[in-house]
Structures are given as C-alpha cells and as structure tokens.
Structure 1
Amino acid sequence: MEDFSEFQEAMGDDVTPLKTEKRVLLRKQTQAGASLAARRKAAETQVQQDPNHLSDSYVDMVKPYDLISFKRDGVQEGVYRKFRLGKYEIDARLDLHRRTVEQARQEVYRFIADAMRYDLRTVTILHGKGEKEATPALLKSWVNKWLRELDDVLAFHSCQPHHGGYGAVYVMLRKSERKKQETRDKLRIK
C-alpha cells in the first residue's frame, strides 16, 4: 500500500479516483452438446417443412431473355451437361403463368415437396419470361432465388427451346434414400 500513497502524493490533491460500479460477470450457460444439436436439427426440419421459409423480401431481378442456372457442388459435369441440354426425361411440370408472387411461392414449394415424395428426379417449372408485364421477368427472378434456397434442388437451368426456352427451367432434384438403396441393390445383383 505504500506504493499507492506515494502515487497519491505524486498526483496531488486535485486528482480523485474514478467511481466504479459493481459489475457482475455473466457467462453463457452451456448446454449438453447432444441437446443443442437436437434442438438445432428440429428447428432446421421445421424450416424445411414450412413454405414460408422461402424468401419474399428482396430479389435480384433478371431480364426476360437471361439464362438462369445453378449447380450445387457434387453434381458431375457430364450429368449437368446432359441435364441442361434437356436429355433427361421430364417427370412433372408446374405452370406458374397468371400467378401472383405469393401464389407462385406456395406452389413452387408444394411442387418440389411433392416431387420429392414421389421420387421424381427431373421436373420443369414454367415461369414465363414476363416481357410484357409491368415488372419484366418478375416470376422468373423469384423462381431463380427460391430454387437456390431449397436443399432438395441440386441444379437448375433454363430450358431448351422445345421445352419452354427462357420462360421455363429444368430442375434436378436430390435422389431419395429409397432410390439410392434400390440402385445399390440393383448394382449388387449384377
């Protein structure tokens, strides 16, 4: 304490110590790792089952004659090339013409969910070019955004002219576990 008194003498009478408030150290409570992981998985599952998780606040606009495409990591280049050239059989189609953005959002979500339930792999969504609309390519822009947000969508690409061209999009869906097992079983037999 001698050091403190020497310090006070050196500072003089006009220096007063700062007032400090009492503080409490708050620590984030830790939870068991399994419990936290289970809660996180439940929340993600709930988001995937809710069509409202698809964005509705902002979209980057594309033009009516812009080509739109997307490919997740893991999709082989040869498969993607054959897909974008329209070489795979189309299992189902969704037509969004004359739909509002909200109606389209609900229908895209439901369509992809149904396609997954029925183990469809390649589907087409007709969104139109929207070149004569007040906001050109509005649905096309939203479909471009929504498909990227769905985990079951592996890739999409604007269609070939005979399937709708710039007014439609091919969508490649993830293979279900049941279909993966069927393929494994088929390869083991041969």
Structure 2
Amino acid sequence: MAKSSSDPRDPRVARTRRDVIQASAAILLEDGWGAATHAEVARRSGYSKATVYAHWPTPTDLMRDAIDRICEDSTPPSPSGNLREDLHTFLGRFALTLSERRYDQLMAGVIERAGRDEGARDLRNRLYETATNGIRDILAAHLPARDVVPSLAMLVGAVLVRVTYEGEAATPEFITDVVDRVLG
C-alpha cells in the first residue's frame, strides 16, 4: 500500500512536520506567540502557508506542537540528593531559561490566551509542569506532601517575579536567600 502525501509515516511529511515545528518553536522562544503566525512559520521553515495550514489549521494547533517540542527538549539536571544544593541548581537553571531563552515571552503569550482558550490553558499547564517537574520532584523527596505545592509556588514564583517582572537577574545569592526563606 502506497503512502499518501498526508501520511505521517511518509518521510517527506515527517520532514515537513519536523521543520515547521522547529521553526515554530524558535519563533516562540525568540519573539513570543504573537510573532508565530502561519505566515511567519511558513517563511522561516521554507514551506508554503498552505502546507502549514494543512497540518495545523489553527494557531493553537501549531503552538501545541511547538510547545511539545520545547518541553521535550527540556532536560533537567540529575539531582544530587542534597535538598538545598539541588534547589539552587534547578532554580538557577529555571532563571537562566527565563532570561536567555525568552521563556517569559512564550509564557506571556500562553497566559494571555489561557483565559479565553481551553487549548491555551492546556499549553500553559504543560509549560508549567515541564518547567517545575524537577523542582517538584526534589521537594517531594524531602518535604511532607502538604508542603510541596506551596514551597514550589514560593520558590518558582520568586524567581519568576525577579526575572520577568522586576527585570533583574536571579543571582546565586538571591536564589540562596529564597531557598533559605522557604525552607527556613
């Protein structure tokens, strides 16, 4: 049986999907959701708008696959077993992701749409889970279950506010202070 031109097992379709998703993810991280239009994704990936629309009829469809790629590419470091050291490492990496990879623009676009679009709410949740899984796992290994979610919110929230709202670096000293206050 011959593969059709829309069959995802067809190497041409797989290549097209890979290229378009890669371009979409790059645009999201560099310029945010608003810049990731079908036209810009087509231009950046080298495929026609018709091809992009054929595979991803809505912007949310396109962003879902791009965010899946971003989440799949995110690999947390291995924990050492030392609670404070691990939190410092993971929060430092989270802060770096926020400041260097333009994750704040990506989150802003997702959060803006999440209030009116269920698909965007799912994407917001996926991004949050991916960004915080390592920290959540570390806390769960060391704290009572009832303390994990509030501690996670305080740690991640402090870094998020520092980097995205205040526009300041989450320095090692800042992260140490936050960790000490939360674990106090």
TM-score range, shorter chain: under 0.3
Length-normalised TM-score, structure 2: 0.27
Length-normalised TM-score, structure 1: 0.26
Answer 1 or 2: higher relative contact order, Cα 8 Å, separation at least 6: 1
Query: Which has the larger Rg?
Result: 1
Higher strand proportion? 1
Higher helix proportion? 2
